[in-house]
A and B are shown apart, each in its own frame.
Chain A
Amino acid sequence: MNRFCLLIFWLFVLFTPALSSAEAVRIETSFDPPNITLANTSTYKIVVHGSQQGPAGGLPQIDGLKFSNPPQTFRSASFINGVPSVRFELSFTVTPQREGTFVVPTLQLTIEGKSYQAPAAKLSVVPPTQADKIRQAERRNQENNLKQAAFLEFQCPRPFLFKGETVEATVSLFLWDKLPVTRIDQVPLKIGDGISMTELGQPNEERGVRRFNKSYSVYSWKFGLTGALPGKHDLSFGSSIRVRVRNNRNSRLSNPFFNDPFFGFGREESLEIKSQLQQLEIRPLPSLLRPMGFQGAIGKLSINSSLDTNRVSVGDPIKLTLTISGSGNFAAMPAPKLSIGENFKVGPPAFSFKGNEATMQKGSQTFEFVVTPLQAGLIDIPPVDFSFFDPSEEKYFSISSQSHSIRVDPGEIWTDPKQNNLSTQNSVPSVSRQDLFQTESEPGQWEENLSTPKPLKSSIFWIAQFGCTIVAASILIFRIRRRNPKLELRKQKEKLLDGKIREALKHKDTSGFHQALRRKIRLRVGIVCDQTNTSALSSSEIINLLRQKQFPENVVTDILNLLKVCDDLEYAQNPNNVTTLELVFKNASATLKNIK
């Protein structure tokens, strides 16, 4: 097999140049058939002889003719009487738009870099024959049949909704009884924004519904439709079903549904179904006369309230149930605000809905509050106000529940029977029971366990300790590495000299003062100029070193003067002149600060 393929390859390699160069390039154009009726199509062919390369160029726009794009291509190579021949074909399907004679003019095409002329071609389109008209009518009929075989119908009770309003809408899938549907692939999906809907549950099935003189099975879904964004919104529904079809290869339309309306057995095909586009307007709620307590409830509603008991002790919880019934947007309805005074502690409500849970539109919504009385006495629970917007009357309404009176006992006073027997004086505990042991209606913060903290067993603690140890050790290592023993020794010497200078100043030791000051100047200059043996530096060497280091001239002059003063006054023996010493010390300190 591999050898055969190799042989074919080499034959192709050897003969391709020969084939392409053996024949001169020639172009033919034609319509096949050249005469058609308006109901039929023709094929426009461009045949290039002598080349297998596709021609480059464009087709002109012919008014009344529609060319298919892209065209079909066909390459061929053959030997005719020992002469190699190659050909390249381009076929466009042409659909006439009107009757008449159409001419595709001469075309300029480029093949292998050279320009060639394709001749003009003529197509004659005549009016449809009777047979064509019958076929067209049949086809329309089949298309209608297909449209009527399965379709979706969407019903909304009103052409407009208010923002936040919920209505019960229905979407129905009609399936012709003769359509061999195997299953519903996709329940109807909403197409369009600005409107939200509840989930579709199980459909209602109805058989034998007559439409278009046909019998249908109808699957209907009821759902809640809520206006979300004000404005006009297009709304439609899409679904898909699976049907059994028979392969019909001879069909001209190659559509498995058209030529065989009864389908029959064969493969399964998916059939997409769309409902008609419907425009729905979402109107904003009127702001005029909107009640203060309006929280977004829309519908036709009523309120009712009840208590589970009307006599309790202080601290004992009571169940206050508010029930809102009717039709409305229950899915988005918040709990009414409970303002029943400071005599009660109110917990968060528990919600429950009774009614059609698929649409959440009709039924009753219950809000169950746990209310704890905090004071004893006959206490009224005031009516609870509730406001809603009625979309049918386009008005706001405020309604109230009934008020309730409850008797709150202070609770029993605890008496210790033992104490009673022993002494009647201490019969009642000093603490009033009514302030004690109030039942909390909220659980508060949950804790997983009751245990004392064990920080020494915590990994975070030990990680922190380890981290601190590492940081401290790093600082120490860094400081030890940066240590310069020579420099530290000199600084220590400088400190000692400082001490000596102060000592001398204190004891008015002129000689010692100047001696120590000179040594300090030497030492400081030595440190700054990296001199090892500072004690051997003469005054002139010090000045030279400072100049080499390019210190400012005034600093050098000051040092020079200081050294001169030291030299002059070291042996001056003038202990009374303390002011001079102090002055020299201040000058020296100021000057030495500049040498760093």
Chain B
Amino acid sequence: MNRIYLKLYFIISAACFTLLPSLEASNNKLFYDAVRAEASGDLVKAVDIYCKITESEHSANLHANLANLYFKLEDYARAILHLRKAIWLDPENREHSTNLAFAMKMGGVVDQTDLDLVPAFSVYYQIHWLIAFNLLFWIGIFVASSFLQPSFRNAKVYVLGAFWIAGLFFSGWGWYQSNLSSLNLNREVIAINATTQENDLKENLALRVFAGSGSEANTEVPLGSSLFLDLDGNDLPRFHTSPTGDKWFLARSASGTNKGWVREEEIESILDFAIK
């Protein structure tokens, strides 16, 4: 039985190794097709191709190009969304940040997401903080267990210990803050137009009092604004399914002042998140 499982494992692994490069190659081809479609002026076809690629893989340039197309189609909310994705994939690219600022300006969106965030505690440094904390912790443990005598009368031991604890506290705090930032990013969604039809583009998204289409709006936020979904006990977004089968999520603005129910078609997460 074990041999069968082993064989199955090898077959599946081999298939994965064979198929992965081909997937990448086919996505490259699709990407070039989309670039050509855009060059020939068929923006909608280019958008369709890019969206098809995003079902399997992502790249910063792909999302930047997609944002560009949405910008040309005057769907600033989706342009903002894809620029955020591009920035997540390539945070060093200043062009994306400039474009995002411009798209937000065009969409009339005020950036409130990163106001309180110290860059060092951002999600990008999450791993760095954890590594720093771990290194410091284990170096301390190893030094103590290898060299130090159990002498509590030596002042040096106290000084070193104090530095060690302070370092641990600081790196732990850094890790905690970047982890909070990561949690926020995971539940962050962008308000988008439920339809991609040009003649049906709206400017604001209604945050409703109750989870239903007939409910009146509690407040409105401009399309392209960041919203944060409320989570349940399992760290999954809280949602309500209406009798018609629509999924409604409780979302609030970055400041937390605006809050209301939105349909799943009206939002899209920046990162992969189980809302669809």
* Interface positions of A (Cβ within 8 A of B): 308-309, 312, 315-319, 347, 350, 370, 414, 416, 418, 429, 431, 435-453, 455, 461, 464-465, 468, 471-472, 475-476, 479
Decide: A475 and B65 in contact? CB cutoff 8 A: no
- Are B61 and A443 touching (Cβ within 8 A)? yes
With contacts A370-B35, A446-B57, A475-B142 taken as known, whether A452 is within 8 angstroms of B271 at the C-beta atoms is yes
**Alpha-carbon distance between A16 and B176 when the two chains are bound, in angstroms:** 99
Q: Do the beta carbons of B60 and A444 come within 8 Å of each other?
A: yes
Give B residues with C-beta under 8 Å from A.
24, 27-28, 31-32, 35-36, 38-40, 56-62, 64-65, 67-68, 71-72, 85, 88-90, 95, 98-99, 101-102, 105-106, 108, 123, 126-127, 130, 134, 138, 141-142, 145-146, 182, 185-186, 270-272
24 contacts between A and B (CB under 8 A): A315-B68, A316-B38, A316-B39, A317-B36, A317-B39, A350-B32, A429-B105, A436-B102, A437-B99, A439-B35, A440-B65, A441-B32, A443-B28, A445-B60, A446-B59, A448-B58, A450-B58, A452-B271, A453-B126, A455-B126, A464-B134, A472-B142, A472-B145, A475-B146
User: B68, A439: Cβ atoms under 8 Å?
Assistant: yes
Number of A-B residue pairs with CB-CB distance less than 8 Å in the complex they form: 117
B145 and A445 form a contact (CB under 8 A): no
Given known A449-B272, A451-B271, A452-B123, contact A416–B35 (CB-CB < 8 A): no
In the complex, the answer to whether A317 meets B127 with C-beta atoms within 8 Å is no
Q: Is the CB of A447 within 8 A of B106?
A: no
Q: Which of A431, A438, A440 has the most chain B CB atoms inside 10 A of its CB?
A: A440
Is there an interface contact between B272 and A472, defined as CB atoms closer than 8 Å? no
A576 to chain B, nearest CB (A): 34
The complex places the Cα of A453 from the Cα of B183 at a distance, in Å, of: 11
Of chain A, the residue at the smallest CB distance from B142 is A472
Taking a contact as CB atoms under 8 Å apart, the answer to whether A453 and B127 are in contact is yes
Q: Which residue of A lies closest to B74 (CB)?
A: A414
Q: How far is the CA of A448 from the CA of B57 in the complex (A)?
A: 5
Q: Which of chain A's residues have a CB closer than 8 A to the CB of B272?
A: 449-451
List the A side residues contacting B39 at CB < 8 Å: 308-309, 312, 316-319, 370
Given contacts A308-B39, A450-B85, A451-B271, contact A471 B142 (CB under 8 A): yes
A482: min CB distance to chain B, Å: 12
A464–B123 alpha-carbon span in the complex (Å): 22
Residues on the B chain within 8 Å of A318, using CB:
39
Residue of B nearest to A350 (CB): B32
The residues of A that contact B62 with a CB separation of less than 8 Å are 443-444
Task: Collect the chain B residues with CB atoms within 8 Å of residue A452's CB.
Answer: 123, 126, 182, 185-186, 271
A459 to chain B, nearest CB (A): 15
Cα distance, A431 to B62, chains bound together (Å): 23
Q: A437-B68, A447-B58 are in contact. List 8 more A-B contacts (CB 8 A).
A: A308-B39, A429-B102, A437-B67, A444-B60, A445-B59, A448-B56, A452-B185, A465-B134
> When A and B form their complex, which 4 residue pairs have the shortest distance between CB atoms, in order from nearest?
A440-B61, A444-B61, A443-B31, A437-B68
Question: What's the Cα separation between A440 and B134 when bound, in Å?
Answer: 40
- Assess the B57–A479 pair: CB atoms within 8 A: no
Residue of B whose beta carbon sits closest to that of A479: B145
> Which B residues are in CB contact (< 8 Å) with A449?
58, 272
User: Which chain A residues border B130 with CB–CB below 8 Å?
Assistant: 455, 461
Tell me, in angstroms, the Cα distance from A450 to B90 when the chains sit together.
12
Chain B hits for A350, CB < 8 A: 32
* Whole-angstrom distance between the Cβ of A517 and the nearest chain B Cβ: 23
Give Cα distance in the complex from A437 to B99, angstroms.
Answer: 7
With beta carbons under 8 angstroms apart, the residue of A429, A450, A461, A472 that contacts B89 is: A450
Give the distance to chain A from B15, nearest Cβ to Cβ, in Å.
16
Q: Do A472 and B32 contact each other (CB < 8 Å), given the known contacts A317-B39, A429-B106?
A: no
- Complex CA gap A408/B224 in Å reads 31
Closest residue of chain B to A452 (Cβ to Cβ) is B182
CA gap between A440 and B72 in the complex, in Å: 15
Residue of A nearest to B186 (CB): A452
Closest approach, in angstroms, between the C-beta of A435 and any C-beta of chain B?
8
Contacting residues, chain A, for B127 (C-beta < 8 A): 453, 455
Query: Chain A nearest CB: distance from B134 CB in Å?
Result: 8
Specify the chain B residue showing the minimal Cβ separation from A442.
B61
| Shortest distance from the beta carbon of A379 to any chain B beta carbon, whole Å | 16
In the complex, the answer to whether A472 meets B141 with C-beta atoms within 8 Å is yes
- Give the Cβ gap from B146 to chain A, nearest Cβ, in Å: 5
Determine the residue in chain B with the shortest Cβ distance to A437.
B68
Q: How far is it, in angstroms, between the C-alpha of A455 and the C-alpha of B125 when the chains are bound? A: 12
Tell me the bound Cα distance from A312 to B40 in angstroms.
10
Residues of chain B with a CB closer than 8 A to A309's CB: 39
Q: Cβ of B98 and Cβ of A436 under 8 Å apart?
A: yes
B145–A475 CB distance below 8 A? yes
CA distance A473 to B61 in the complex (A): 49
Cross-chain contact A439 with B85 (CB below 8 angstroms)? no
A479 to B149, CA, bound (A): 10
> In whole Å, how far is A131's beta carbon from the nearest beta carbon of chain B?
70
Q: How far is the CB of A372 from chain B (nearest CB, A)?
A: 9
Kindly list chain B residues whose C-beta atoms are within 8 Å of the C-beta of A446. 24, 27, 57-59
Give B25 Cβ to nearest chain A Cβ, in Å.
10
Query: What residues of A have a CB within 8 angstroms of the CB of B35 in the complex?
Result: 317, 370, 439, 441
Residues of A with C-beta under 8 A to B270: 450
Which residues of chain B have C-beta atoms less than 8 A from A451's C-beta? 186, 271-272
A451 to B146, CA, bound (A): 40
Q: A435 — which chain B residues lie within 8 A by C-beta?
A: 98
Q: Please, which residues of chain B bring their CB within 8 A of the CB of A471?
A: 142
Whole-angstrom CA separation of A436 from B100 in the bound complex = 10
Contact of B40 among A308, A448, A461, A479 (CB under 8 A): A308
**In the complex, which residues of chain B have a beta carbon less than 8 angstroms from the beta carbon of A450?**
58, 85, 88-89, 270-272
Query: Once the chains bind, are B24 and A468 in contact (CB under 8 Å)?
Result: no
How far, in whole Å, are A319 and B40 apart by their CA atoms in the complex?
9
CA–CA, A429 to B1, complex, Å?
68
Most chain A beta-carbon contacts within 10 A, residue among B39, B58, B146: B39
Complex: how many Å from CA A435 to CA B99? 9
* Nearest CB in chain B: distance from A216 CB, A: 46
Instruction: For residue A262, give the distance in angstroms from its CB to the closest CB of chain B.
Output: 53
Q: How far is the CB of B112 from chain A (nearest CB, A)?
A: 20
Q: How far is the CB of A226 from chain B (nearest CB, A)?
A: 27
The reply to whether B38 and A439 form a contact with Cβ atoms under 8 Å apart is yes
A414 touches B36 (CB 8 A): no
Q: What is the distance, in angstroms, from A502's C-beta to the closest C-beta of chain B?
A: 16
Taking the nearest CB of chain B, how far is it from the CB of A443, in angstroms?
A: 4
Looking across the interface, which residue of chain B has its beta carbon closest to that of A445?
Answer: B59
Q: How far is the CB of A437 from chain B (nearest CB, A)?
A: 4
Q: How far is the CA of A452 from the CA of B186 in the complex (A)?
A: 7
CA distance in complex: A452, B273 (Å): 10
Chain A neighbourhood of B28, CB < 8 A: 443
Q: Is the CB of A370 within 8 A of B32?
A: yes
Min CB distance, A289 to chain B, in Å? 39
Distance in Å from the Cβ of A480 to the closest Cβ of chain B? 10
Query: Nearest B residue to A468 by beta-carbon distance?
Result: B138
CA distance A444 to B126 in the complex (A): 24
Bound CA span A577–B50, Å: 95
